[in-house]
Structure 1
């Protein structure tokens, strides 16, 4: 069992998109060997997983075998978990499920509530988290080690903020995709070949994201610098700043936050 490191890990719901991303992250960057990783799913079958990973349809079997249990099922399936994880660390990435609710569902107060995304498979996720008051320092260290496999992580000062990040983690990539689609469609409407427009848009957004991810100036500082340069970018930015797009984005994020909080109900 646990040797003081990450230990043996089980992912309940490990056959979904997010569960697979977590499994990939742990195997690639967590030093977890396939024999120390368990996945449970309703079918008891998971294709395209590393040889040696243990697959089961029995959540209780997984809990009994593992030191850390990651809850990665849709919020609406939370009530059907049917586990008792006393003595284990439970890390939940279920949207909207509060720490108190996870304690009730899992039978342990050694609970970490986190949020991550499928970008974890590439080590590109941001995974904020908060801990139940009775989670130990070792529990926090282990959760940090697990979530660092997914990319960047940070402990939040309050659980309320996790709903904010739930709204950012899921919707923001969708918002970026929406803006990318608008850019591509604009180019096509001006006569650019659709394949070329798609190729260019993908690379442009990749480059922009990479520039921001490298650190240095904040996003706001980038905007200020490009506006001050007074070139073609400034012309477009000033038009957007004069529009209501910032307020519309805020309303979209508020809608996502409210949806995340509603998921906590039965």
Structure 2
């Protein structure tokens, strides 16, 4: 049985990843140790056997897999020895080489899940150092599959890009949705109705795009061919260069990720 310790176990991302894993029985509650600076960790009341601590060294001693789920800025305060452990990092912008240098680990996995993990809808790209064993790869695949879709990357540097592209979770679509809600309200739709309508639109659109064989570009072309109301809206957005605005936002997020994340 795998003994997992999570440094930063009180954070939202750790909770979003761990609750599906616990629900599926991949990790037994007594085999999970969570640490936080305050020692106060909520969200695991359904699994009373989970251990909590403020002592990261004790967590490492009790674990054969250690997950780092902290802000990159907090690494300076982390004084632990991870030699002999499988290290699973969900930190943005911290390379496997830096983790190895700081903590002595050689078996390192880096992954970039997003906030949709709680709903089991995360897209999680990941990569591993060559020392990671086959049985550990199987564990990692199962661990992240509990919270969505996993995808292996051969180039670690691409994780910085996926931090920008998919690490945002719902944030970028939410900005689009919020704009649509505001427009509806300006046209006299009451805010509650506008929000219900737009939420359902995004749910349906996401489900449809996930299931259709056509690419997103194909879907846009299909509606443009109808030359109806949707085509009029799409044409106006294209003329306003909405694509450039999206490119600009992704580029800013990518540059921030490459500098060490949030």
Scaled by the length of structure 1, the TM-score of the pair is 0.92
2:35 paired with 1:53: no
Query: What residue in structure 1 maps to residue 128 of structure 2?
Result: 131
Question: Against the structure 1 CA distance between its residues 258 and 154, is the aligned structure 2 distance closer, same or farther, given a 3 Å change threshold?
Answer: same
Provide the C-alpha distance between the structure 1 equivalents of 2:87 and 2:62, rounded to a whole number of angstroms.
13
Q: Of 184, 190, 194, which aligns to 1:193?
A: 190
Q: Does the Cα contact within 8 Å between 1:81 and 1:105 map onto a contact in 2?
A: no
Scaled by the length of structure 2, the TM-score of the pair is 0.94
Comparing 69-78 with 215-224, greater Cα deviation is found at 215-224
- Spell out structure 1 runs of 4+ moving beyond 6 A: none
Provide the C-alpha distance between the structure 1 equivalents of 2:212 and 2:169, rounded to a whole number of angstroms.
19
Q: Does the Cα contact within 8 Å between 1:124 and 1:152 map onto a contact in 2?
A: yes
Question: Against the structure 1 CA distance between its residues 29 and 217, is the aligned structure 2 distance closer, same or farther, given a 3 Å change threshold?
Answer: farther
Question: Deviations 1:71-112 (Å, cap 9, x if unpaired)?
Answer: 100111122222212221111000110110111233211001
Instruction: Map residues 161-172 of structure 1 onto 2, 5 A cutoff.
Output: 161-171=158-168
Query: What residue in structure 2 maps to residue 90 of structure 1?
Result: 87
Provide the C-alpha distance between the structure 2 equivalents of 1:138 and 1:98, rounded to a whole number of angstroms.
23
Q: CA deviation at 1:134?
A: 2.4
Q: CA deviation at 1:213?
A: 2.1
Query: What residue in structure 2 maps to residue 78 of structure 1?
Result: 75
**Which ranges in structure 1 are unaligned for 5 or more consecutive residues?**
none
Instruction: Map residues 1-266 of structure 1 onto 2, 5 A cutoff.
Output: 2=1, 7-29=2-24, 31-49=26-44, 50-171=47-168, 173-263=170-260
Comparing 133-142 with 52-61, greater Cα deviation is found at 133-142
**Which ranges in structure 2 are unaligned for 5 or more consecutive residues?**
none
What SS is found at the alignment partner of 1:62? Answer: helix
Provide the C-alpha distance between the structure 2 equivalents of 1:115 and 1:48, rounded to a whole number of angstroms.
21
Provide the C-alpha distance between the structure 2 equivalents of 1:66 and 1:52, rounded to a whole number of angstroms.
15
Number of residue equivalences: 260
Question: Deviations 1:193-249 (Å, cap 9, x if unpaired)?
Answer: 111111111111111111112242221221122222322212211222222111111
What SS is found at the alignment partner of 2:37? Answer: coil
